[in-house]
Chains A and B, each alone.
Chain A
Amino acid sequence: MMNDKNSQKIVDIIQNWARKHSIWVLAYGTGCGAIEIPPTMTSRYDAERLGVRGAATPRQADVLLITGYLTVKTMKRVIRVYEQMQDPKYVIGFGSCTINGGMYYDSYNTIKVLDKYLPVDVYINGCMPRPEAVLSGFAQLQKRIAEGRANGAQQYKDNLEWYRANQKKIIPNWIMPDYNW
């Protein structure tokens, strides 16, 4: 019965419906954009009405927000955090720094294109994106989850070697543990 294609489809729909209404965001800010998160979460914009709320540890979280610029040094920690997160997991690139470098396009120590290193499900542009834009980004993510298109984690697993090679290009001294999913 479970191998039947149609019943798997129904299970997927129910699963995605549940997932999209409980997006727990890891409370980890990589750059200046983290300052937009408190107003998004608190009563003025109240993201919790969409099911978006903070999670304390990577293993409890569903969404990794890359808030703004990402330095090479933070990159190491972000990769470790992302690999510790359990499925389902999504990445939101937040602010123009993650898209094309933003105002740090000529900086010697920040990456310019986030999706070369981590699979990004939704980008939110702006410098900084206001809480309205952040909520719109979360709504977009919910839409993609419901449609079953937010499959960045699967993409990461399938193309791990390509991502690893890119990551090692900017992190020459690789002393990271290997996680076994």
Chain B
Amino acid sequence: MKELKESIIKRIKANFADAVERNDFKDNRLDFSVKKETIPAILFYLKDEMGFVHLSDVNCVDWLEDGELEVVFIVWSPADKIKVFVRTRLDRDNAVMDNLDMIWRQMNTYERELREMFGVQFTGLEAPEEFILEDWQGPPPFRRDFDSAAYAEKTFWHRPGREDAQDVRESIADRDGEEIPDFAKKYSR
């Protein structure tokens, strides 16, 4: 398995100069970060030349602090039993990349989801504007700067009686003489 992974890394690096690999995951997993211009080429290469014929998932990570959105493509090789992650970063305010559903037809569905939930635009994507949400008028809801609680507060009625829900963690810790670790304090309300 190790040699196989090394050979895959070697082939990808030889063909795509901008690919940065990570190989510290578990056994059957590889990871490449590339520029967004390289994405169609590397996915075509993985599918047609290297046997990564199965598209497992297309996902998105919101790196709010860096001002970037990272789109992650996960492909799987049934013959080698290896999973390859291909990542690319897009500008958060101008998240545009090429439509890729000619490589895998089912990519169309993932692209519609990313367009609706993260606001990633795919140029040339032919699909109805709405995917899961109906009549949605707010910002893309899966972006981290979308404040779900504030939106719900504004849009829906709330039954009174939940406002006094207190964070009881500290009082319980005091009572039991328990120490709250520093990392946990950050998350208490």
Q: Which residues of A contact B (CB under 8 A)?
A: 72-73, 76, 99-101, 105-113, 116, 170-173
Whether A116 lies near B157 (C-beta < 8 A) is yes
Known: A73-B132, A116-B157. 14 other contacts (CB 8 A): A72-B135, A105-B152, A106-B148, A106-B149, A108-B138, A108-B148, A109-B133, A112-B152, A112-B157, A112-B158, A113-B156, A171-B135, A172-B137, A173-B135
Query: How near does chain B come to A91, taking the closest CB pair, in angstroms?
Result: 17
Q: Tell me what chain A mostly uses at the interface: helix, strand, loop, or mixed.
A: loop
**If A73-B133, A76-B134 touch, does A100 touch B148 (CB 8 Å cutoff)?**
no
Q: Check B157–A113 contact: CB distance below 8 A.
A: yes
- The complex places the Cα of A170 from the Cα of B148 at a distance, in Å, of 15
B51 at the interface (CB under 8 A from A): no
**A-binding residues in B (CB < 8 A):** 132-135, 137-138, 141, 146, 148-149, 151-152, 155-159, 161-162
Which residues of A are found within 8 Å of B162, using beta-carbon distances?
100-101, 105
The reply to whether A170 and B155 contact each other, CB–CB distance below 8 Å, is yes
Please judge, given known A-B contacts A112-B157, A116-B157, whether A73 and B134 are in contact too, CB under 8 Å: yes
Q: Given A108-B148, A108-B152, A112-B152, check contact A99 B159 (CB 8 Å).
A: yes
Sample (26) of A-B pairs whose CB atoms are under 8 Å apart: A73-B132, A73-B133, A73-B134, A76-B134, A100-B158, A100-B159, A100-B161, A101-B152, A101-B156, A101-B159, A101-B162, A105-B152, A106-B149, A108-B138, A108-B146, A108-B148, A108-B152, A108-B155, A111-B157, A112-B152, A112-B156, A112-B157, A113-B156, A113-B158, A173-B134, A173-B135
Please tell me if the beta carbons of A107 and B148 are within 8 angstroms of each other in the complex.
Answer: yes
Pick the contact of B158: A76, A101, A108, A173 (CB < 8 A): A101
| Chain A residue contacts of B146, Cβ below 8 A | 108
A108-B116 Cα distance, complex, nearest whole Å: 14
Task: List residues of chain B with CB within 8 A of the CB of A72.
Answer: 134-135
Q: How far is the CA of A171 from the CA of B133 in the complex (A)?
A: 12
Q: Given that A105-B152, A108-B152 are contacting pairs, would A113 and B135 also be in contact in the complex, using a CB cutoff of 8 Å?
A: no
Which of B151, B152, B161 is packed against the most chain A CB atoms within 10 Å?
B152
What are the residues of chain B within 8 A of A107 when measuring CB–CB? 148, 152
- Within the assembled complex, what's the spacing in Å between the Cα atoms of A170 and B158? 14
